[in-house]
A and B are shown apart, each in its own frame.
Chain A
Amino acid sequence: DTEVTQTPKHLVMGMTNKKSLKCEQHMGHRAMYWYKQKAKKPPELMFVYSYEKLSINESVPSRFSPECPNSSLLNLHLHALQPEDSALYLCASSQESRAYEQYFGPGTRLTVT
């Protein structure tokens, strides 16, 4: 099973809303990642969790708040977003942070109005 799942598939939110994106994997992977992808651009790394601890924060604004409740789950809490934050948000996982093959979930298409 090489599946990473993400919910919701689509999300529309206003700039004053608070929402959360969820990611789940059952492959026993110990590293999980959040990426942001704008149209016709490659994915941009946001956060890396390794063994449930935040390892990398790529200078992401504080309106994005990641959380890793356990080794299978990864959340991204959203608050006071801007329209320019509209993008495809991708979750990925790999065996562990030094392993190289990352598997992506289907993504959440976020629109901020």
Chain B
Amino acid sequence: QKEVEQNSGPLSVPEGAIASLNCTYSDRGSQSFFWYRQYSGKSPELIMSIYSNGDKEDGRFTAQLNKASQYVSLLIRDSQPSDSATYLCAVNRVPAGGYNKLIFGAGTRLAVHP
């Protein structure tokens, strides 16, 4: 079982719709969760971080965390063609020695069509 799992997609949604991206993780000790957006040929850009159960909203983006189910999601409202990218879910794991290590999922490719 991979530590962080995402559906690779592509997830295709029409412009203006809600895009729902999902992620599950295996380490119950994980405390911090992130969503990165990566355009083709570019570097990952941090768009959301969430640390406690529930929802966190930032503009058109809402991150949802359910630690009991080991599940993280990202909702994008009013999707735009410019949202078309790969979305990477990342989970913090603190290995021996206490240093921060991000474990990335394989990413979900989102395609928003006009």
Measuring CB to CB, which residues of chain A are less than 8 angstroms from any residue of chain B?
A: 31, 41-43, 45, 48, 50, 55-56, 88, 90, 94, 97-107
How many residues does chain B have at the interface if contact means C-beta atoms less than 8 Å apart? 23
Q: Are B104 and A104 in contact (CB under 8 A)?
A: no
In whole angstroms, how far apart are the Cα atoms of A90 and B38 in the complex?
12
In whole angstroms, how far apart are the Cα atoms of A88 and B106 in the complex?
16
Q: Which of A45, A55, A107 contacts B97 (CB 8 A)?
A: A55
Q: Are B100 and A97 in contact (CB under 8 A)?
A: yes
Chain A residues with CB below 8 A from B99, complex form: 48, 50, 55-56, 97-98
In whole angstroms, how far apart are the Cα atoms of A58 and B45 in the complex?
23
State the Cβ distance, B34 to closest chain A Cβ, in Å. 7
Q: Are A43 and B100 in contact (CB under 8 A)?
A: no
B98 at the interface (CB under 8 A from A): yes
Q: Are A98 and B43 in contact (CB under 8 A)?
A: no
Among B55-96, those with CB < 8 Å from A are 88, 92, 94-95
Q: Are A90 and B44 in contact (CB under 8 A)?
A: yes
State the Cβ distance, B68 to closest chain A Cβ, in Å. 21
B42 at the interface (CB under 8 A from A): yes
Please provide the 7 A-B residue pairs with the shortest distance between their CB atoms, ordered closest to farther.
A42-B104, A100-B32, A104-B43, A107-B43, A55-B99, A97-B99, A100-B92
Q: Known: A41-B106, A42-B88, A100-B32. Contact between A90 and B43, CB under 8 A?
A: yes
In whole angstroms, how far apart are the Cα atoms of A41 and B98 in the complex?
26
Q: Known: A100-B32, A100-B34, A100-B92. Contact between A45 and B46, CB under 8 A?
A: no
Chain A residues with CB below 8 A from B45, complex form: 104
Q: Are B101 and A56 in contact (CB under 8 A)?
A: yes
State the Cβ distance, A35 to closest chain B Cβ, in Å. 9
Q: Are B106 and A45 in contact (CB under 8 A)?
A: no
Q: 7 A-B pairs, CB-CB below 8 angstroms?
A: A45-B101, A50-B99, A55-B97, A90-B44, A98-B99, A100-B49, A107-B43
B17 at the interface (CB under 8 A from A): no
Chain A residues with CB below 8 A from B95, complex form: 56
Q: Which residue of chain B has the shortest Cβ distance to A103 in the bound complex?
A: B46
